[in-house]
Amino acid sequence: MAWTWRFEGSDGTEVAPAVEPEEFTTQGDAESWIGEVWKDLLEGGADRVTLFEDGAEIYTMSLRAAAEA
* CB 5 within 8 Å of CB 24: no
Region of poorest pLDDT, from 10-14, 30-34, 62-66: 62-66
The residue ranking higher by pLDDT, 14 or 67, is 14
* Domain range summary for the chain, segments of one domain joined by +: 3-68
- Going by pLDDT thresholds of 50, 70 and 90, the confidence category of residue 22 is confident
- Going by pLDDT thresholds of 50, 70 and 90, the confidence category of residue 1 is confident
Looking at the DSSP bridge assignments, the partners of residue 62 are 48
Pairing of strands 56-62, 3-8: unpaired
Mean pLDDT within 14-18: 96
User: What is the per-residue pLDDT for 66?
Assistant: 64
pLDDT at 54 exceeding the cut of 90? yes
